[in-house]
């Protein structure tokens, strides 16, 4: 009931902020488990880094529109929606975008700000489909992201050949750019996102809304591919109402809270 009510509020475009309950506190705590090289503990309303930096978990704002959740979230907001792992979650409810909300000060501190400095030193080459494609792609090696993507690539390489049309040519990974139509830095600018082949991909802005204004959902990416990515800590943009079905993003903290 609590989850259904939250989705309804999201659909109306307003999110009511509340004090962290036990479930939310547990979700936020997975950040420390997901990023142990950087994060030390939760202390009250603060996420404490190993270098002593403190970041507020709940900014105390009483209500946020859906756009405000995207443009100016706090740490708690990243866990407002539970990611549906496995062969479920389609088509998503209106404004149901689990994993799309990013508290950027957290990620910029970990991965670096590509708009201010060269973060290439923190990236590594990942060989995409060693036997069936063999090209390399740059991905952040911080937090084990590149190692996780290499495991994904190696598992996908073992899938039957019928899946190759969804996996090559690869559309790219690290790219220091904002999200189209916004001032928000893309996850590609952090080096933690990869786009697979575009021939069978769909994007919400390419879809014409219906008479009610709802975006029509489209997807062709097979579950066999999605499962491999999710098993290694990647969220799939195909499980968002504002879908981007070629997009996979390394967010282990989101998968740790998935259901």
259 residues of the chain, pLDDT tens digit each: 333 444 444 454 544 444 566 666 788 999 999 999 999 999 999 999 999 999 999 999 988 889 999 999 999 999 999 999 999 999 999 999 999 999 999 999 999 999 999 998 899 999 999 999 999 999 999 999 999 999 999 999 999 999 999 999 999 899 999 998 888 999 999 999 999 999 999 999 998 888 888 999 999 999 999 999 999 999 999 999 999 999 999 999 999 999 9
For residue 140, report the phi and psi dihedrals to the nearest 5 degrees: -60, 135
- CA 31 remoteness from chain centre: 14
Helix H or strand E segment including 32: helix 22-34
* Count of domains for the chain: 1
State which residues form the domain around 244.
Answer: 2-256
Residue 14's Cβ-side half-sphere holds a number of Cα atoms within 13 Å equal to 6
């Amino acid at each position: 009931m609590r989850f259904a009510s939250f989705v309804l509020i999201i659909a109306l475009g307003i999110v009511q902020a509340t004090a962290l309950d036990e479930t939310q506190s547990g979700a936020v705590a997975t950040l420390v488990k997901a990023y142990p090289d950087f994060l030390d503990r939760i202390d009250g309303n603060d996420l404490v880094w190993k270098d002593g930096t403190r970041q507020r978990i709940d900014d105390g704002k009483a209500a946020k529109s859906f756009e405000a959740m995207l443009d100016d979230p706090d740490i708690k907001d990243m866990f407002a929606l539970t990611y549906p792992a496995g062969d479920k979650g389609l088509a998503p409810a209106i404004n149901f975008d689990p994993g799309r909300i990013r508290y950027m000060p957290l990620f910029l501190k970990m991965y670096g700000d590509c708009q201010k400095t060269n973060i290439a030193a923190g990236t590594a080459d990942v060989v995409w489909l060693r036997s069936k494609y063999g090209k390399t792609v740059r991905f952040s090696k911080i937090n084990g992201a590149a190692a996780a993507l290499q495991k994904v690539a190696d598992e996908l390489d073992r899938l039957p050949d019928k899946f190759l049309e969804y996996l090559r040519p690869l559309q790219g990974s690290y790219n220091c750019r904002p999200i189209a139509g916004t001032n928000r830095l893309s996850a590609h600018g952090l080096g933690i996102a990869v786009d697979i082949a575009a021939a069978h991909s769909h994007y919400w802005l390419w879809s014409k809304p219906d008479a009610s204004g709802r975006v029509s959902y489209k997807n062709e990416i097979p579950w066999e591919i999605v499962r491999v990515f999710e098993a290694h800590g990647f969220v799939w943009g195909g499980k968002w109402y504002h879908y981007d079905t070629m997009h996979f993003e390394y967010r282990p903290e989101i998968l740790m809270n998935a259901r």
